[in-house]
Structure 1
C-alpha cells in the first residue's frame, strides 16, 4: 500500500500532535518544516542531487514530503488561529479526522484484498526468507517503485528463475507486474 506525501504528512503530524500541542509548538513546527522544505529544494536543485546511490533517498521525494508536512502544519496553525484554540488536539480537527478515517478505510481495504490474495495462493509455498541488508533494501526499493509488496517482488523473481543443466540459477531480465 502506497500513501501519498500528503497522507504521510497528515499521519505524521496527527501522531506527533496526539498529546496536544500549544500554539507556540505548532508555530515552531511550521518554522522547522519551512526550513526543511527550503533545504530539500536547494538540495534538489544542486548538481550533487543527480549523483545518488541507486536505492538511496530520492531528493525529489524528500522535498515533496517536506513540502507536504509544511502545508499540513500551516493548515493546523490557520485552523488554530481561526478557531481561537490555545491547544491543537487532533480529535477536534474535523478535516484531519476525516482524512485519518479515509486513510484507515484504504488501509483496511488493502489488508482485505491482501488477505484474499494470500488465501487464493495458499496452495503455493510459504517461506520466511532472511536477506542481507543490501538485498532487503533492493527488494523494498523495487517494491516501492512497482507498487508491489516485497513478498510479491520476491515471488516474481523466483517465478522467473531458470535452472540450467549445470545447476546454476539465473534470473533473466523481466518487468515486475
Structure 2
C-alpha cells in the first residue's frame, strides 16, 4: 500500500524528531552506507535462491535509497532554515506528505470496509433457480405483467413477506407487488 518513499518519509519524521544537525548528518551517513550495502546485496543474491519468508533485497534496497534521499532532504532543510533541531511539525513539505499519506490510508480503510460489507452482503444473499409448473408459471407471469415487474422481482417480494408460525407452517399476508 505504501511506496518506499512513503515508508521512508514516515520513518524519518518519527526517528528524526528532536535530532540535532550533527545527528541528522549521522543518519545521512548511515543511510548512505545502508543504501550501498543493500545495492551490493541485491547484485550478489539471486532472486530464485530466496525463501518465501525472506525479505526481497530489491524492496530493501529501494527503502534505503528512499531513506537516504529523505535524510538528505531533512539535513538540507535544517541547514537552509537554520534549525538546531528537527521538528516534523515545522517541516511543511514533510507535513504535507504525512497528511496525504493519512488521507490515502483513510480512503483505503473506507474502501476495504465497503468491500467487506459487500462480501458479507453477498454471503447473506440467496440466489436460486425455481422451476414452476406451467399453471404457477402462467399466474406468476400474469402478475408480473400487471405490476410491471420481472417474475423474479415478484418472487423476491413474496419471499420477503413469508412468516413461519410455531407449527412450521408458512404464511404470507395479502400484499400488492410494487
Tell me if TM exceeds 0.5.
yes
Residue-by-residue CA offset, 1:69-119 (whole Å, 9 max, x unaligned): 000000000000111111110000000000000000000000111111112
1:51 Cα offset (Å): 2.3
Distance 1:39 1:49 in 2: 17
* Number of equivalences: 123
2:86 to 85, 88, 97: 88
Instruction: Give the CA RMSD over aligned residues.
Output: 1.6
The question of whether the paired residues in 2 share the 8 Å contact of 1:36 and 1:66 is answered with yes
Q: What residue number does 1:33 align with?
A: 31
TM-score for both structures, normalised by structure 2: 0.65
Q: Which moved more, 1:20-29 or 1:67-76?
A: 20-29
List runs of 5+ in structure 1 lacking aligned partners: 126-177
List runs of 5+ in structure 2 lacking aligned partners: 125-178
**Which portions of structure 1, spanning 4 or more consecutive aligned residues, are displaced by more than 6 angstroms?**
none
TM-score for both structures, normalised by structure 1: 0.65
- The 5-angstrom pairing of residues 1-177 of structure 1 reads 2-18=1-17, 20-47=18-45, 51-123=49-121, 124=123
1:26 Cα offset (Å): 0.4
1:50 Cα offset (Å): 5.4
Between 1 and 2, higher relative CO (CA 8 Å, sep ≥ 6) is seen in: 1
1:48 Cα offset (Å): 5.3
Residue-by-residue CA offset, 1:123-153 (whole Å, 9 max, x unaligned): 438xxxxxxxxxxxxxxxxxxxxxxxxxxxx
